[in-house]
Structure 1
Amino acid sequence: MNPYQQKKRWKYSLLTFAVVIASGSLLYTNYLVRNIAKSERTRAQIWAMSMKQVLSSDDNDFLNYVFAVRDSSVVPAIVTDEKGDFQYRRNLDSTKTFLKLEAEGNKKLTYDLAYFQRELAYMKKQHEPIKLEVLGKQWLIYYKDSDLLTQLKFFPYIQLSVIAIFLLLAYTAFSSSRKSEQNQVWVGLAKETAHQLGTPISSLMAWTELMKEKFNAEEDPLIAEMENDIKRLEIVADRFSKIGSTPKLEEQKVYEVVKDFVDYFKVRVSKNISFDLKGNPHLVAGLNVPLFDWVLENLLKNAVNAIEGKGSINVEISGNKLKKQVFIDVTDTGKGIPRSKFDTVFQPGYTTRKRGWGLGLSLTKRMIENYHNGQIFVRDSELGKGTTFRIVLKNTKYDKQTTTK
């Protein structure tokens, strides 16, 4: 199992564990809510019975006990008669009901009708009314959940939200710190590699010059190819030395840069793989040539590995004048990529090769997006038929001869 798949499995395991914890918390809270709701229903029934005793009993000592029971209920309630007229209320907003002094000095209970109607409608949705026979009349007692029960219903969602926000902030901080450390290690390793390559490259350059002089082989094609490879080593060392610093982008004709590298690369792979380069030769983009050659090298190597035998690699350069973009499409006739892996292939550590490190496409994406302010993605792929990678760059200068596509 490669490191990326292992990391992905850990993420799924942690997510599953978090879901189990959240589900357990919600289930337990719902269990408490149901039990408290039953308790409040019982208390509402006791309150209803106490109301009946208050209205029908003349025993003062017993009434004192009944009043105590009735007043201990904290469940908000409204009592109506069969016609729906309000008879009594309990634990509602006291500012909505008040005693008004009449001219005769009598006090009459008045209330905010709209408020009571809203409360009554809400209570009807929550619970079935408790029916009570009082002095030959039927009263309906409606009630709603207490503030404590209402708060308990929403508490787990608030709790889980706070925990989720905390975990998200912690993960973001941890991830940022980890990436910063990885970048520092990567930059240090890259610069040390460039430093270590410097000495053998210088020696190889001196040895080739000595060979040309000793054997009078100024035009020898083999030595010329050796010199090309030494130049490539210089470019590789230069690439590593630029890691960690902001590369300088210069306006370049994209077709010419791509052609130079394809010409160098195609003579170093199997003759069973053919190369075809076409497109607009006038498109211009800001490029750092050593780093962009590295991008092309990774894409073409990836295409060669995907072909695994005989096939073709096509590179097409086109543009969009309206959006001021340059497109570079690299298409192979290899084994293809499943659609579910279109984004995964750019993750560090992802590889389908037994001896692969899974860094080529990850570095490619980094160099295109971070250094060239562009985009790279899998434009299209079909298993058994091939894959097309697309690079999108900003067109810095449109030539008059440029055509759009």
Structure 2
Amino acid sequence: MVNKEHLYQYNNKQRWKVLLFLFAACIAAASLFYTNHLVKSLSRSERTKAEVWAMSTKSIISMPDVDDEFISFVYAVRDSLSTPAIITDSAHNIIFWRDLDETKTNVKNQTDSAHRGLQYDPVYFQKQLEAMQENHDPISLHLETGEEWLVYYRDSDALRQLRIFPYVQLSLIAIFLIIAYTVFNSIKKSEQNLVWVGMAKEAAHQLGTPISSLMGWLELVRTKYEAQDDSILNEMERDVKRLEIVADRFSKIGSIPSLTSHVVYPVIQDYINYFKVRTSEKIQFELTGDQSLEAKINIQLFDWIIENLLKNAVNAIESEGKITVNIIDNIAKEEIFIDISDTGKGIPKSNFDTIFQPGFTTRKRGWGLGLSLTKRMVEYHQGHIFVKESEIGKGTTFRIILKSNLKYEPTEV
């Protein structure tokens, strides 16, 4: 049965992440929409400026007999409009320009303030003209002489900066949030790890005394009843020793256990021999594959990995079935494959990655930490674990990949 409470908590956590992402997306969309609205308004304003500048230039050219006061007014209006622009004739020969890079010009005969008669850098002005032609449609001016002038202009620097500002702003906010999330998440995980390490070490310490007492009581029973070779007492002793191993595991959490080279087959076989007599007789166990492959492992942690996977396999088998462990040599990549298969109820494909996340469980009782911890211990061995294949109603195969020859750099468990 599915643990509805844990599943609800997990789904609720995922739902909050989606909602926060959608909220952030709405903020970004609103910012871009408003900025785009401002850009369009300023763009219309700049086109109006370009039109006024074009008309004032036309007025200066076409009305030479107007009194000086009016001409001065027209010049004042025109020169107050700071929009980069170029006027060409119908053949696209440059006649006038304004607000371009003056260092690209070579003043030869400046006959008026509109720069008539200037010699200019042709490459620079040709590039500017092409950019303006791509930027906006030209403004057409028809002179009294019958000529047609075309006024090209481009966006001001302020407008161009405004276009990219929201993207820069959102990028900086995103970078800040990512860094902040990473830092706070790291702090949170560090605090959680300290709590778990403390609880694990305390549990190991608390288990130490009753385990020692149980060993003593077993020896007393053997001596009193002269049952040195009693099979029941021997199995009890194996269980007590197993408790010692479990306590030792918890005492080493947060430290860096050593990895040594071991043949994998007998290590797995020893645990299967211990485990199968403590499960239902309707479940069969089979260990196959290469019996000579070696890998650098920590026996206690590796046993824990196999234990978790075998327990999951047993839980997946509702009544009777079979669990197979197959050890394969991947010579090409110097790897060892350990496939653990069961004939249980299977896992939906959508949960292949989710099942390794802390808190996810489909059991009625459970914390959802088994496979998460298993994945962490496999990674400690510089290996990988994943669901190789699974089919609902037919079973599941987990694959562990270990390096057979690798220089390890252990980290904390």
Q: Output the TM-score relative to the length of structure 1.
A: 0.93
The answer to whether the Cα contact below 8 Å between 1:81 and 1:139 also exists between their aligned partners in 2 is: yes
1:334 aligns with 2:344: yes
Cα distance in 2 for partners of 1:119, 1:91 equals: 11
SS at match of 2:86: strand
Runs of at least 5 residues in structure 1 that lack an aligned partner in the other structure: 398-405
Amino acid paired to 1:60: D
Cα distance in 1 for partners of 2:53, 2:31 equals: 32
Cα distance in 1 for partners of 2:336, 2:210 equals: 38
Query: Percent identity over the alignment?
Result: 58
Aligned partner (choices 304, 309, 328) of residue 314 of structure 2: 304
1:19 aligns with 2:25: yes
1:259-278 equivalences in 2 (<5 Å)? 259-278=269-288
Please identify, of 35-44 and 110-119, the stretch whose mean Cα deviation from structure 2 is larger. Answer: 110-119
1:201-216 equivalences in 2 (<5 Å)? 201-216=211-226
Amino acid paired to 1:52: K
Please identify, of 338-347 and 168-177, the stretch whose mean Cα deviation from structure 2 is larger. Answer: 338-347
The answer to whether the Cα contact below 8 Å between 1:4 and 1:347 also exists between their aligned partners in 2 is: no
Aligned partner (choices 108, 121, 129) of residue 120 of structure 1: 129
Q: CA RMSD in A?
A: 1.6
1:73 aligns with 2:81: yes
Instruction: Report the counterpart of residue 386 of structure 1 in structure 2.
Output: 395
SS at match of 2:262: strand
The answer to whether the Cα contact below 8 Å between 1:327 and 1:391 also exists between their aligned partners in 2 is: yes
TM-aligned CA deviation for residue 246 of structure 1: 0.8
Please identify, of 1-10 and 35-44, the stretch whose mean Cα deviation from structure 2 is larger. Answer: 1-10
TM-aligned CA deviation for residue 62 of structure 1: 1.1
The answer to whether the Cα contact below 8 Å between 2:345 and 2:392 also exists between their aligned partners in 1 is: yes
Aligned partner (choices 298, 318, 321) of residue 328 of structure 2: 318
TM-aligned CA deviation for residue 321 of structure 1: 2.3
Higher-RCO chain (CA-CA 8 Å, sequence separation at least 6): 2
TM-aligned CA deviation for residue 275 of structure 1: 1.0
Please identify, of 331-340 and 200-209, the stretch whose mean Cα deviation from structure 2 is larger. Answer: 331-340
Instruction: Report the counterpart of residue 40 of structure 2 in structure 1.
Output: 34
TM-aligned CA deviation for residue 338 of structure 1: 2.3
Cα distance in 1 for partners of 2:394, 2:181 equals: 40
Instruction: Report the counterpart of residue 383 of structure 2 in structure 1.
Output: 374
1:240 aligns with 2:250: yes
Aligned partner (choices 357, 363, 367) of residue 347 of structure 1: 357
TM-aligned CA deviation for residue 251 of structure 1: 1.5
TM-aligned CA deviation for residue 31 of structure 1: 0.5
The answer to whether the Cα contact below 8 Å between 2:204 and 2:247 also exists between their aligned partners in 1 is: yes
The answer to whether the Cα contact below 8 Å between 1:315 and 1:330 also exists between their aligned partners in 2 is: yes
Q: Which runs of at least 4 in structure 1 moved beyond 6 Å after TM superposition?
A: none
Cα distance in 2 for partners of 1:225, 1:204 equals: 13
Please identify, of 86-95 and 152-161, the stretch whose mean Cα deviation from structure 2 is larger. Answer: 86-95
1:131-170 equivalences in 2 (<5 Å)? 131-136=140-145, 137-170=147-180
Amino acid paired to 1:84: H
Runs of at least 5 residues in structure 2 that lack an aligned partner in the other structure: 111-115, 407-413
Number of aligned residue pairs: 392
CA shift in 2, pair 1:79/1:396, >3 Å: closer
Instruction: Report the counterpart of residue 96 of structure 2 in structure 1.
Output: 88
Instruction: Report the counterpart of residue 174 of structure 1 in structure 2.
Output: 184
